[in-house]
């Protein structure tokens, strides 16, 4: 294929231009993409797909799709690439975007054969058992992170290797302790020092942390935690790998080769998320043998996945990684799962049927249901919610067959197996997109035929990474698909609920939350100290609403108390504070007692029972459940409500 050589071309002046040329000599296919940027802002990106390429001699041209940083501009234009002879023999091309007078024409010099470049800053909490440094060394023999990413035409550099840190904000770190998302973000800012500019190819930058375990994450192997821009901080620049999870700890002790493989897989998987790639199941490709799939939920089991996996991204993912517009892929630009182009889908396809097939081929008959946790009021056909009232959903899985079967105990959308879709009163549908996606080994249990269904009633659906889902008065329909069983996703029976028209005070209180991403994040993470001043103002607003006309079915006040209790159950140590705030079980109990409501998730009552038992020293006898302990428990009276300024 004569003419323009494959590779990455760029200018050095502002506005900065870059062009990527991919040439498949076996199939005679050429793909061209590029970006024109000014400082740290993309002006326009273009994509010339193989089917649109016209080659005349050495010149490549055709009609390209355009992706602008602002709306209102043309969506296509003619693009032409012509080889340019240089005095020093450097390969270069002249790129003309558009036709006619004034069409920009730029000369770009070939920089590399790889189409993208990415720099990683890696830190680990001192004292952890770390992988061999060769894992991230581009010059090491065998399969390494740089060789894996180079197969996707991404040149990865880890200039300083894996550096260890023993302190965060002048506080000592225990390698065995559990970390929370706020601490991960503090590590990103304090240890990583993200660059101010995210505009140029050479500026692609990610921070990687090796830590022990994630708070509340069960067996979470990795996470790309900054999915959204917060307080003007760019998103998609931080990820973490948790080395003390049960899965990785077991492999480290019994199978070092498998341990290295899983650490490498987790790194590549989370980097994929940081470059805005979804899970395979989210784009209806659950059988893909890709870094973005989950070996533990693969049809046929993890052994079937590893036996067929060729250490690569699949073709759709490779196309996105090589040619996605700058604003879709570059770390620090758009929020996770926000994409202008349609190079890759962000969610799964249509729901599956009632019957799923096990890996052995034996039929497994299961049924699923999704229902609001709040029950119908007397005489009402559907549950009624006050405007801005928290919405929790319950997912239930039942065995309709004659044989027991295993299932993953991962019914929250953040686990990656359950997809919830909300159809609004205006007819538009939204798929609930968790603010945080966990990549983990899902714990497994068995579902007996004719036995008690498995369920989870803590699905928080009021808002997600894209904002509020129930911000219009009217009737809503909620549906779900569960991808945790072999075969096609299992469709849950749909449910409906109604949001009432607001009073003026209710609308003001609701939009106070919805217009404040920091406050929504504090509520989602159940940590009011992340936005303390706005949290206190919110509590005061809802106290005033309750005084003006108390509704015993309204769960909002109880939910705020429940959230405050969870905040007091966590250690809070952001980089901005000189002293960490340690958990206070007594304050947590105080809020939980006042926050009990029969229409909140069962977890609220369960947490109160555990705190009460911890305070009284009650332990379970062998073989007895928490509900069958010897000492009877009396309900504690709710204390007087403290002032808003003393709450969390």
Tell me the percentage of the chain whose pLDDT exceeds 90: 42
* Sign of the torsion formed by the C-alpha atoms of 59, 65, 67 and 68: positive
Cα 437 off chain centre by: 3
| Percent of the chain scoring above 70 in pLDDT | 85
In this predicted structure, the answer to whether residue 522 has a pLDDT above a threshold of 70 is: yes
Asked if 519 contacts 529 with a C-beta cutoff of 8 angstroms, the reply is: no
The predicted pLDDT at position 573 comes to 65
pLDDT at residue number 565? 85
Q: How far apart are CA 169 and CA 580, in angstroms?
A: 10
Chain position carrying tokens 């319950």: 394
pLDDT, mean of residues 33-40: 80
What pLDDT, on the 0 to 100 scale, is given for residue 592?
Answer: 80
What is the pLDDT, as a whole number, of residue 582?
A: 81
DSSP 572: B
In the predicted model, what is the mean pLDDT of residues 103-124?
91
Query: What is the structure's pLDDT at 615?
Result: 62
pLDDT surpasses 90 at 586: no
Helix (H, G, I), strand (E, B) or coil at 491: strand
Lowest mean pLDDT among 98-112, 242-256, 300-314: 98-112
Q: Is the pLDDT at 151 greater than 50, yes or no?
A: yes
Closest residue by Cα to residue 211 from 124, 137, 282: 124
- Chain centroid to CA 154: 22
pTM value is: 0.75
* Nearest-angstrom CA–CA distance, 241 and 119: 17
* 346's tokens: 């962000």
Residue 15 banded pLDDT, cuts 50, 70, 90: confident
**pLDDT range class, residue 196, cuts 50, 70, 90:** low
Phi, psi of 494 (to 5 degrees): -75, 165
The answer to whether the CB of 356 falls within 8 A of the CB of 485 is yes
d(CA 647, CA 529): 10
Smallest CA-to-CA distance from 79 within 15, 12, 27, 34 is with 34
> Encoding tokens for residue 197?
């500019």
Q: Quickly state the pLDDT bin for 70 (edges 50, 70, 90).
A: confident
pLDDT at 90: 86
Quick one: 533 exposed, middle or buried, by C-beta within 10 A (0-12, 13-18, 19+)?
Answer: exposed
Looking at residue 619, what is its pLDDT?
Answer: 45
Average confidence (pLDDT) over 95-121: 87
Asked if 539 and 569 count as a contact pair (C-beta separation under 8 A), the reply is no
Measured in residues, the chain has a length of 648
Does position 242 have pLDDT exceeding 90, yes or no? yes
Q: Which tokens in the block code for residue 208?
A: 């990687």
What per-residue confidence (pLDDT) applies to 457?
Answer: 92
Is 170 in contact with 186 (CB distance < 8 Å)? Answer: no
Q: What's the pLDDT band for 435 if we cut at 50, 70, 90?
A: confident
pLDDT computed for residue 576 by the predictor:
56
Rounded to 10 degrees, the C-alpha dihedral 135/140/141/144 comes to 30
Examine the pLDDT at 630 and tell me if it is beyond 60: no
370 beta partners: 395
Q: Residue range 320-336: average pLDDT?
A: 91
pLDDT of res. 41: 66
Contact 349, 419 (CB under 8 A): no
Q: What is the mean pLDDT of residues 559-586?
A: 77
**Residue range 97-105: average pLDDT?**
76
* Full 3-state SS string of 102-145: CCCEEEEEEEECCCEEEEEEEEEECCCCCCCHHHHCCCCCCCCH
DSSP string, 199-224: -SGGG-EEEEEEESEETT-SSEEEEE
**Average pLDDT, rounded, for the chain:** 82
Mean pLDDT of 401-414: 87
Task: Between 255 and 40, name the one with better pLDDT.
Answer: 255
List the Cα angle 355/356/358 in 5-degree steps.
140
Contact 169, 84 (CB under 8 A): no
Q: What is the DSSP letter of 281?
A: G
Look at residue 351 and tell me whether its pLDDT is greater than 60.
Answer: no
pLDDT greater than 90 at residue 100: no
Low-confidence winner among 300-309, 368-377, 429-438, 475-484 (lowest mean pLDDT): 429-438
φ, ψ dihedrals at 81, nearest 5°: -115, 125
pLDDT tens digits, residue range 157-182? 999 999 999 998 778 888 988 888 88
Tell me the two tokens of residue 97.
Answer: 């975007």
Cβ atoms of residues 94 and 82 within 8 Å: yes
Under DSSP, the state recorded for 404 is: -
**The pLDDT value given to residue 589:** 84
Flag whether pLDDT at 470 surpasses 50.
yes
């Amino acid at each position: 294929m004569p003419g323009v050589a494959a590779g990455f071309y760029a200018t050095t002046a502002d506005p900065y231009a870059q062009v990527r040329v991919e040439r498949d000599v076996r199939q005679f296919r050429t793909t061209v993409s590029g970006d024109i940027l000014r400082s740290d802002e993309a002006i326009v990106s273009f994509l010339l797909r193989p089917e649109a390429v016209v080659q005349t001699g050495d010149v490549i041209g055709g009609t390209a799709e355009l992706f602008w940083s602002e709306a209102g501009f043309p969506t296509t234009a003619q693009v032409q690439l012509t080889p340019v002879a240089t005095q020093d023999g450097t390969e270069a091309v002249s790129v003309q975007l558009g036709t006619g007078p004034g069409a920009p024409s730029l000369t770009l010099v070939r920089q590399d054969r790889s189409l993208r470049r990415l720099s990683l800053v890696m830190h680990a909490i001192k004292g952890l058992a770390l992988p061999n440094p060769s894992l991230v060394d581009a010059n090491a023999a065998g399969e390494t992170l740089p060789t894996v990413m180079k197969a996707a035409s991404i040149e990865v550099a880890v200039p300083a290797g894996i550096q260890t840190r023993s302190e965060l904000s002048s506080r000592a770190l225990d390698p065995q302790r559990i970390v929370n998302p706020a601490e991960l973000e503090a590590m990103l800012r304090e240890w990583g020092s993200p660059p101010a500019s995210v505009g140029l190819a050479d500026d692609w930058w990610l921070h990687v942390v090796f830590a022990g375990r994630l708070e509340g994450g069960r067996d979470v192997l990795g996470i790309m935690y900054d999915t959204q821009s917060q307080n003007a901080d760019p998103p998609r620049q931080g990820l973490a790998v948790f080395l003390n999870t049960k899965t990785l700890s077991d492999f480290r002790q019994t199978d070092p080769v498998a341990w290295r493989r899983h650490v490498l897989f987790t790194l590549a998987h989370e980097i994929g998320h940081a470059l805005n790639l979804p899970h395979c199941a989210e784009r209806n490709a659950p059988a893909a043998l890709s870094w973005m799939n989950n070996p533990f939920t693969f049809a046929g089991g993890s052994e079937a996945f590893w036996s067929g996996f060729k250490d690569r991204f699949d073709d759709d993912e490779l196309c996105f990684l090589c040619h996605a517009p700058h604003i879709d892929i570059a770390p620090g630009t758009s929020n996770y799962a926000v994409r202008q182009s349609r190079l890759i889908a962000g969610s799964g396809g249509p729901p599956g049927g009632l019957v799923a097939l096990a890996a052995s081929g034996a039929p497994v008959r299961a049924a699923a249901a999704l229902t609001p946790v709040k029950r119908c009021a007397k005489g009402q056909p559907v549950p009624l919610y006050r405007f801005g009232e928290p919405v929790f959903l319950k997912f239930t899985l039942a065995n309709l067959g004659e044989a027991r079967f295993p299932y993953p105990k991962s019914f929250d959308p953040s686990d990656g197996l359950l997809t919830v879709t909300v159809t609004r009163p205006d007819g538009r549908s939204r798929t609930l997109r968790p603010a945080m996606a966990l990549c983990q080994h899902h714990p497994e249990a068995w579902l007996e035929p004719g036995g008690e269904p498995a369920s989870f009633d803590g699905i928080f659906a009021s808002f997600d990474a894209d904002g509020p889902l129930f911000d219009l008065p009217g009737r809503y329909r909620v549906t779900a698909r569960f991808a945790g069983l072999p075969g096609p996703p299992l469709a849950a029976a749909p449910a409906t609920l109604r949001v009432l028209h607001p009073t003026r005070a209710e609308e003001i209180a609701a939009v106070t939350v919805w217009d404040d991403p920091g406050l929504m994040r504090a509520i989602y993470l159940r940590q009011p100290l992340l936005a303390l001043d706005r949290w206190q103002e919110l509590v005061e607003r809802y106290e005033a609403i309750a005084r003006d006309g108390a509704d015993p079915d309204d769960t909002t006040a109880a939910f705020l108390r429940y959230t405050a209790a969870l905040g007091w159950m966590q250690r809070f140590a952001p980089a901005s504070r000189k002293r960490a705030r340690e958990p206070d079980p007594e304050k947590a109990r105080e809020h939980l007692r006042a926050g009990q409501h029969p229409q909140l998730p069962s977890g609220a009552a369960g947490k109160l029972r555990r705190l009460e038992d911890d305070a009284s020293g009650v332990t379970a006898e062998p073989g007895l459940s928490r509900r069958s302990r010897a000492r009877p428990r009396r309900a504690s009276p709710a204390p007087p409500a403290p002032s808003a300024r003393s709450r969390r």
